[in-house]
Structure 1
Amino acid sequence: MARRTMEVTVGVFMLLGVFALIFLALQVSGLTPGGNGSTYTVYARFNDAGGLTARGRVSMAGVTVGRIRSIELDRDSFQARVTMDIDGVIDNIPTDSSAVIRTSGLLGEQYIDISVGADDTSMADGDSFYSTQSALNLERLIGNFASGR
């Protein structure tokens, strides 16, 4: 009987360990079950989207305020069109704010940083950032330096 109790206890701990690993994997990947509340969609166009990825973070002043939903090529302007979902509680982003692609650390992930403007009107669902700054392409910079351009 003691052996059976020990096996059940070990089995319960194994299941708890598996559930903990699944939970951690979902938290790290940003694929949390359920929604994070209401969001609204804004757009930005960049000449070079660099290493941005879907589900990448969108931040203001170092605080995550949204996620990148998708990145696609605009076939008319040949620019990258980035679709972002901004948390609904952040409903006062000025319309003259700019979207800048930044990198965490020297070789870290790339994300969108919103530099806040001073306009009195706020962005709404479906609005676009008019001022953007593309990613700094380190390989292109080194290549231009090496070739003397």
Structure 2
Amino acid sequence: MERAKLELMVGVFVLVGIACLGYLSIKLGKLEVIGGHNYPVEAEFTSASGLKPGASVEIAGVEVGRVRHIGLSSDRALVALAIQDGVKLYSDTIASIKTRGIIGDKYLALSVGGGGDPLKPGDKIRDTEAGLDLEELVSQYVHGKVN
């Protein structure tokens, strides 16, 4: 009887531990198990080099969404974003690919306008700025082609 009680307690302890580990994995990985409260927006860039799905989308340094998917639309990179419901974007919003530090990760920075119409789910951000290609810049400097 005592052995069965001990095994039951160990089993409950292990199950609680696994549940906690799963919860922390989802929270720290910033995964969404059940949809979330986001709306989709798209942006086209001449180059999305270095930007990866899951990268953060920020306004004024505050994370407001995530990059969901990066694909090719004719000769341009089509980036699908998931923006939090409470964040209002307008048709004059500018999307820029930025870098954290010198060799840091790429993220998407949004400069929200206010003079245009509000973007609806599925709309496209028209004004975009591709990220700075550090390799190309160094190559131009080495070969003396910098203006």
The TM-score bracket by the shorter chain reads 0.7 to 0.9
1:119 CA displacement: 0.9
2:13 — aligned with what? 13
**Aligned residue for 1:119?**
115
Choose from 84, 89, 100 the match for 1:87.
Answer: 84
Say whether the 8 Å CA contact 2:92–2:116 is kept in structure 1: no
Pairwise mapping of residues 98-137 of structure 1 onto structure 2 (< 5 A)? Answer: 98-137=94-133
**CA, structure 1 residues 53+33, in 2 after alignment: closer, same or farther (shift >3 Å)?**
same
> What amino acid maps onto 2:67 in structure 1?
I
Pairs aligned (count): 145
Deviations 1:72-115 (A, max 9, x none): 1112xx1111111222222x322111001122333332211111
Are the counterparts in 2 of residues 50 and 136 from structure 1 also a CA contact under 8 Å?
no
TM-score scaled by structure 2?
A: 0.83
Corresponding residue of 1:33? 33
Flag the 1:143–1:8 CA change in 2: closer, same or farther, 3 A. farther
* Aligned position for 2:138: 142
Write the deviation string for residues 115-135 of structure 1: whole angstroms up to 9, x where unpaired.
122314222223222221112
- Letter in structure 2 aligned against 1:22: G
When the two chains are superposed, the root-mean-square deviation of aligned CA atoms in Å is 2.1
Q: Which runs of no fewer than 5 residues in structure 2 stay unpaired?
A: none
Task: Give the letter aligned to residue 135 of structure 2.
Answer: E
Instruction: Tell me the TM-score normalized by structure 1.
Output: 0.82
Secondary structure at 1:73 match in 2 = strand
Residue 83 of structure 2 is aligned to residue 72 of structure 1:
no
Secondary structure of the structure 1 residue equivalent to 2:124: coil
Structure 1 gap segments, 5+ residues each: none
CA distance in 2, matches of 1:126, 1:133: 20
Counterpart residue identity of residue 20, structure 2 = A
Tell me, yes or no, if the aligned pair for 2:98 and 2:106 is still in contact at 8 Å: yes
Q: Contact 1:102 / 1:111 at 8 angstroms: preserved in 2?
A: yes
